[in-house]
Structure 1
């Protein structure tokens, strides 16, 4: 009986014969053999051969097992399968070598194996800690461990042995500790705390002690830690670690970069306020710069500023107006780099009734200025009354409330639509749809602003931490003989939703806030943003078209599930740690919920009445639990499709001086292999057809319906998909509504009006090729006439895109680009052309984005 096996790095792990079966099965599929039972029989023969070969108590090595597989395949007369298996081994060896080079390691470990090459490139370039010379000094395993430890620390301080949910009569008085004093002395089970973990421990303790919740002084808690009394929390660290390293969930970029590191800030999104004074404007500018430095993005509503040309009493001059000050913020953003990871991202908002609204609408015409801003018009609730009746719409001077002038509301709306058609900006934010589901409307007033991508609706000086569940990771594949069964594992998904909710709630506590008033507002409402990514790949696996009723039902079902179980877990958290402080001032005690789907009982799949009863009885820990954010590089790390977007292109082509590389959607590749259609010609055909298969004659209609890209889908279906997800989302949803190049202004207008009618909270549009410097799907340039053979770097173990290269050429990490400067807007990390999706320009190769999370 073989029970253990020796891995290449020397670890001894459990022997799993199913891995042999799967490896043989993949080799068989590669040559068109589809007999699963044969693969199982051959696997048994391999195990029997190993038993005879090994000496008593000898453990097999991975190499021995693979050598035996080759021998058995050849002896059984399966030469083609044997060849495919040998090639498979060679590719695995190439991948190991590539990963070693990327990570600057002699041997890759079990965590490195879970991530594909592209994911490791992203981690290495932007996330793993480096020394002063830029050398990587941290492995992916160490990264996810430091994040998991940091996020678990609040749980220790909420332990009932040291925490009182009711306020105590007085604070604990104790000696002061510094992280340096305790560095190297504390651990949780097997996990050692570094100085930044300890700094976080002290920070959270001091806050809870100020609020009179701590039963014991810090010195006693430190002693308990030293004695191993909190070692049970090792399980929580492992839960978070496994959730991230199995790519089921990823927190936003600031958490991955900053937790367990000096900056300590894990919040991605901030809304900053400003008053109509130069002192306030410059103070907000300073705050934004410091937030960018730590990796956050900022949103601002400039509507309190008096209009351009208005009188200034102190100087007897005239006001510069909001757009001039936005230009100042834009210039600041140019010179501040976010945490050494990404450049600052801004959302500039102006109310529809501000006197400078017309200038604002055209401020980004041709994308020539305010390049570090997304801009959105905040359509105030009363705008629609004027629009319907077509009566003059008053523009109000915020300085004194007087009417500055009147405009035609329909002409104003048409101007917004036209600029969206021409330049993809401004976006729209719908006041009525945002504040109808605002649980704190009565006590805190209307929300007027969002984060840079428009999906997190926040009050001034409020922030939010985000994370996304990878839907593709919950797709399970089973074989019963030759019959393949693919399904979505709802039980595993519920478990992940609950763990991720706890993770994000802990982030609120351990986060190192940039300013006290932001900390205060954020912790009063305790909003978290649990979202989804990998939707397109999940639908591909289930063979469900994105632009179908069935596809939209799946979107609703998944998001309803996330919202329900995140709220249910938030109730459990409230029982243990207390309700969010403004709970009594919210509409939750009235039995209301901040989601449109709650109002439509006929669409329920879960017991929402039961959940509302629990909320009324125990309260909630978090005012919001769900946000669907753009996922940018975290979806690259997870090896899956971005957010809720359809796949932009099934094949990306990247041309550099040292060669041509093709990135192929993994589910598309796997399906075409199974159908016997995948080869070099298919890759190039898809690339020539701008990443789409709709006009490739030899692909069956069934697959053309399933494998639709963003440009294959009508604008109406994009809007309906957005509305389906918004229906069960507390905050808002990041998604781009794509239009074909020949779309008319009227087409776009219909989409804006449909989005408002369906309850969407905002809208971002992009007409194909309307912005210079945005990537064109598929090929970067016309295909050369000569045929070129492709070879692949395919990471079979890790889910993610295969990278194909032209044979005879090679890859260099820092390649030179042949294209003329300025011809295409390039990713600053990898040099690839950018794509417009999720409300931002982003890189389809490495995940970099102006406002990615």
Structure 2
């Protein structure tokens, strides 16, 4: 489980579509629009707590007592592409840090204002004023809250706060795919795949954001796109981990993220990735080694692995293509279902099968966590 919860806690999730926060003309982030969206999201999710029909009394007591919400994101990679910034690069991580700092500080300020309007979450209210002050003091001295601006901490001490937790990053496998953006905080697994037509001809299909770029730049070579169109398997595992750690600094709960490693990654190298995540402050992590679920003899050492753990994984000369054979037969007769349920074909890579792994519906090919039963 990637989300640590108290007994009977309830997941109340929403996601900001970061692709919509890009100013495509200036190739920058519209931070004012982002702030307004986050403020609206926090108020909406807080209202959901009261509107939810709870089937168990314990769930209702916990949900109304802590008023936990989890505002996350989708379309992070789209935002970086619109800003012509490479995912996982130093410049990219600086921008990601600023984006999530804005989300976090805006969410907490919005919750403080809701606290003034509607009252703090009950678990932060003591039987006496002195006890309430003590609870607020303890709340603002947690490791996460110490990173927050002083005005937020002081306002919580004075006025309280509406929600005990405000942020998370869920996989958004279904919703992200539905609106046509990268899911959660993940980079695109692939920017192109082949769809077979009813006449047996394979047609190459570009991801929406790639097609948009090619429409705007007809002179561009679709097989040699700019560096900001980097895909998940072209990114070094260390870069995957570092992006997660940059974001974790501004997330009070946990994060769903898959570190994609190339075929042949050794046990020792996987261990170093987990150590990197731990030292970077991540609360959890998933490393998926390409091909690790194929029918093959398990070994502790991979002979085909020739790169050191601090060297980026070798890049393929051409972008990987994902083959999707879902339209050879008539729609009503095909048994291929794209989705996030167990047995479906993965909506991210369009190649793997969705299986339940560790509480999450996960792709057997790309390792994407599509849906978690929290």
Partner in structure 1 of residue 5 of structure 2: 458
Larger RCO, structure (CA 8 Å, separation 6 or more): 2
Q: Equivalences for 1:220-369 in 2 at 5 Å? A: none
Partner in structure 2 of residue 851 of structure 1: 372
Q: 1:722–1:735: 8 Å Cα contact kept in structure 2?
A: yes
Q: For the aligned residues, what is the CA RMSD?
A: 3.5
Match of 2:217 among 667, 672, 675: 675
Partner in structure 1 of residue 257 of structure 2: 735
Deviation at 1:777, TM superposition (A): 5.6
Deviations 1:330-379, CA, capped at 9 Å, x for gaps:
xxxxxxxxxxxxxxxxxxxxxxxxxxxxxxxxxxxxxxxxxxxxxxxxxx
Q: Establish whether residue 494 from structure 1 lines up as the match of residue 35 from structure 2.
A: yes
Match of 2:110 among 559, 569, 579: 569
C-alpha distance in structure 2 between counterparts of 1:499 and 1:781, whole Å: 38
Q: 1:632–1:642: 8 Å Cα contact kept in structure 2?
A: yes
SS of 2:27 mapped into structure 1: strand
Partner in structure 1 of residue 159 of structure 2: 618
Deviation at 1:465, TM superposition (A): 0.3
Deviation at 1:564, TM superposition (A): 0.9
Q: 2:171–2:371: 8 Å Cα contact kept in structure 1?
A: no
C-alpha distance in structure 1 between counterparts of 2:363 and 2:197, whole Å: 19
Q: Establish whether residue 779 from structure 1 lines up as the match of residue 297 from structure 2.
A: no
C-alpha distance in structure 1 between counterparts of 2:190 and 2:92, whole Å: 19
Partner in structure 1 of residue 315 of structure 2: none
Higher CA-based Rg: 1
C-alpha distance in structure 2 between counterparts of 1:768 and 1:566, whole Å: 37
Q: 1:635–1:643: 8 Å Cα contact kept in structure 2?
A: yes
Partner in structure 2 of residue 540 of structure 1: 81
Deviation at 1:851, TM superposition (A): 2.9
SS of 1:566 mapped into structure 2: helix
Partner in structure 2 of residue 529 of structure 1: 70
Partner in structure 2 of residue 122 of structure 1: none
C-alpha distance in structure 1 between counterparts of 2:320 and 2:354, whole Å: 10
Q: Establish whether residue 643 from structure 1 lines up as the match of residue 184 from structure 2.
A: yes
- Uncovered stretches (5+) of structure 2, i.e. residues with no partner: 127-133, 296-318, 337-342
Deviation at 1:558, TM superposition (A): 1.2
Partner in structure 2 of residue 549 of structure 1: 90
C-alpha distance in structure 1 between counterparts of 2:159 and 2:79, whole Å: 35
Match of 2:20 among 459, 470, 473: 473
- What TM-score results when the alignment is normalised by the length of structure 2? 0.78
Partner in structure 2 of residue 515 of structure 1: 56
Deviation at 1:778, TM superposition (A): 1.9
Deviation at 1:811, TM superposition (A): 8.5
Q: 1:658–1:812: 8 Å Cα contact kept in structure 2?
A: no
Q: Equivalences for 1:24-43 in 2 at 5 Å? A: none
SS of 1:512 mapped into structure 2: coil
- CA change 1:714–1:594 in 2 (3 A) is farther
- CA change 1:723–1:632 in 2 (3 A) is same
Deviations 1:457-515, CA, capped at 9 Å, x for gaps:
2111111200000011111233xxxxxx3222111111110011001001111101121
C-alpha distance in structure 2 between counterparts of 1:766 and 1:632, whole Å: 17
C-alpha distance in structure 2 between counterparts of 1:507 and 1:663, whole Å: 39
C-alpha distance in structure 1 between counterparts of 2:62 and 2:112, whole Å: 21
SS of 2:372 mapped into structure 1: coil
SS of 1:711 mapped into structure 2: helix
C-alpha distance in structure 1 between counterparts of 2:228 and 2:93, whole Å: 13
Q: Establish whether residue 560 from structure 1 lines up as the match of residue 101 from structure 2.
A: yes
- CA change 1:529–1:616 in 2 (3 A) is same
Q: 1:470–1:532: 8 Å Cα contact kept in structure 2?
A: yes
Deviation at 1:555, TM superposition (A): 1.6
Deviation at 1:833, TM superposition (A): 3.4
- CA change 1:653–1:741 in 2 (3 A) is same
Partner in structure 1 of residue 268 of structure 2: 746
SS of 2:218 mapped into structure 1: coil
Deviation at 1:849, TM superposition (A): 3.9
- What TM-score results when the alignment is normalised by the length of structure 1? 0.36
Q: 2:258–2:369: 8 Å Cα contact kept in structure 1?
A: no
Deviation at 1:753, TM superposition (A): 0.8
Q: Establish whether residue 841 from structure 1 lines up as the match of residue 362 from structure 2.
A: yes
Q: 1:827–1:843: 8 Å Cα contact kept in structure 2?
A: no
- CA change 1:815–1:575 in 2 (3 A) is same
C-alpha distance in structure 2 between counterparts of 1:502 and 1:536, whole Å: 26
- CA change 1:769–1:656 in 2 (3 A) is farther
- CA change 1:781–1:654 in 2 (3 A) is closer
Deviations 1:184-221, CA, capped at 9 Å, x for gaps:
xxxxxxxxxxxxxxxxxxxxxxxxxxxxxxxxxxxxxx
SS of 1:458 mapped into structure 2: coil
Q: 1:766–1:836: 8 Å Cα contact kept in structure 2?
A: no
C-alpha distance in structure 2 between counterparts of 1:713 and 1:657, whole Å: 35
C-alpha distance in structure 1 between counterparts of 2:220 and 2:79, whole Å: 20
C-alpha distance in structure 1 between counterparts of 2:175 and 2:183, whole Å: 9
- CA change 1:852–1:650 in 2 (3 A) is farther
Q: 2:68–2:166: 8 Å Cα contact kept in structure 1?
A: yes
